[in-house]
Chain A
Amino acid sequence: MSAVLTAAPPALPPQMTPVRVAGVVKETHDTFTLTLDPPGEEAAGRFLPGQFSMLYVFGVGELPISISGDPGDSGRLVYTVRSVGKATNALVNCQPGQWVGVRGPFGTSWPIEEARGNDVLIVAGGIGLAPLRPAIQHILRHRDDYVRLLVLYGARSPKDLLYRKELAGWARLPDTQVLTTVDYGGVNWRGYVGVVTTLFRYVRLHPGRTTAMICGPEIMMRFVIRELEKRGLPDADIYLSMERNMKCAVGFCGHCQLGPYFVCKDGPIFPFTKMRPWLDKHEL
Chain B
Amino acid sequence: MDSKTLTDVLREHPFLEGLKPNHVQKLAEVALEVQFARDQIVFREGDETSLFYLLASGKVALEVSAPGRVVRIQTLGEGDELGWSSLLGNAGKTFQARSLEPVRAIGFDAIRLRQVWEQDPAFGYQFMTRLLKVVAQRLQATRLQLLDLYAPRGTKLV
Assembled-state Cα–Cα distance A186/B80 (Å): 21
Judged by a CB distance under 8 angstroms, whether A187 is at the interface is: yes
Q: Which residues of chain A in 162-211 are interfacial with respect to chain B, using CB atoms and an 8 Å cutoff? A: 181, 183-187, 189-195, 197-198, 201-202
- B82 CB to closest chain A CB, in angstroms? 13
Judged by a CB distance under 8 angstroms, whether A39 is at the interface is: no
- B35 CB to closest chain A CB, in angstroms? 18
Interface residues on B, range: 20 to 34
Give the chain B neighbours of A82 by CB distance below 8 A. Answer: 152
Whether A201 contacts B77 by the Cβ 8 Å rule is yes
Judged by a CB distance under 8 angstroms, whether B70 is at the interface is: yes
User: B141's contact among A84, A195, A219, by CB below 8 Å, is which?
Assistant: A195
User: B149's contact among A185, A190, A201, A219, by CB below 8 Å, is which?
Assistant: A219
Q: Which residues of chain A in 214-240 are interfacial with respect to chain B, using CB atoms and an 8 Å cutoff? A: 216-217, 219-220, 223
Contacts A125-B150, A126-B150, A190-B100 hold; do A198 and B70 have CB atoms under 8 A apart? no
Whether A156 contacts B74 by the Cβ 8 Å rule is no
Give the chain B neighbours of A197 by CB distance below 8 A. Answer: 141, 144
Judged by a CB distance under 8 angstroms, whether B78 is at the interface is: yes
Judged by a CB distance under 8 angstroms, whether A102 is at the interface is: no
Assembled-state Cα–Cα distance A160/B155 (Å): 15
Whether B80 contacts A201 by the Cβ 8 Å rule is yes
Contacts A186-B69, A190-B100, A193-B74 hold; do A217 and B80 have CB atoms under 8 A apart? no
- B24 CB to closest chain A CB, in angstroms? 20
Judged by a CB distance under 8 angstroms, whether B129 is at the interface is: no
- B149 CB to closest chain A CB, in angstroms? 5
Contact with A along B59-79 (1 / 0, CB 8 A): 101010000011111110111
Judged by a CB distance under 8 angstroms, whether B4 is at the interface is: no
Name which residue of chain A comes closest to B79, CB basis.
Answer: A201
Give the chain B neighbours of A155 by CB distance below 8 A. Answer: 150
Q: Which residues of chain B in 103-158 are interfacial with respect to chain A, using CB atoms and an 8 Å cutoff? A: 137, 140-141, 144-145, 147-154
- A230 CB to closest chain B CB, in angstroms? 10
Whether A193 contacts B75 by the Cβ 8 Å rule is yes
Whether B59 contacts A156 by the Cβ 8 Å rule is no
Give the chain B neighbours of A84 by CB distance below 8 A. Answer: 152-154
- B62 CB to closest chain A CB, in angstroms? 8
Whether A193 contacts B73 by the Cβ 8 Å rule is yes
Assembled-state Cα–Cα distance A54/B25 (Å): 63
Assembled-state Cα–Cα distance A219/B146 (Å): 12
Assembled-state Cα–Cα distance A192/B76 (Å): 8
- B28 CB to closest chain A CB, in angstroms? 23
Whether B72 contacts A193 by the Cβ 8 Å rule is yes
Give the chain A neighbours of B100 by CB distance below 8 A. Answer: 190
Give the chain A neighbours of B59 by CB distance below 8 A. Answer: 190, 192
Whether A219 contacts B80 by the Cβ 8 Å rule is no
Assembled-state Cα–Cα distance A189/B70 (Å): 11
Judged by a CB distance under 8 angstroms, whether B46 is at the interface is: no
Whether A183 contacts B148 by the Cβ 8 Å rule is yes
27 example contacts (A-B, Cβ-Cβ < 8 A) are as follows A84-B152, A125-B149, A125-B150, A127-B150, A155-B150, A156-B151, A183-B149, A184-B71, A184-B72, A186-B71, A187-B63, A187-B70, A191-B75, A192-B59, A195-B144, A195-B149, A198-B74, A198-B137, A201-B14, A201-B79, A201-B80, A202-B78, A217-B150, A219-B144, A219-B147, A220-B149, A223-B144
Those 7 A-B pairs whose CB atoms lie nearest each other, nearest first: A126-B150, A185-B72, A156-B150, A195-B144, A217-B149, A193-B75, A192-B75
Given contacts A183-B145, A186-B70, 6 further A-B contacts (CB under 8 A): A82-B152, A126-B149, A126-B150, A184-B71, A187-B69, A201-B14
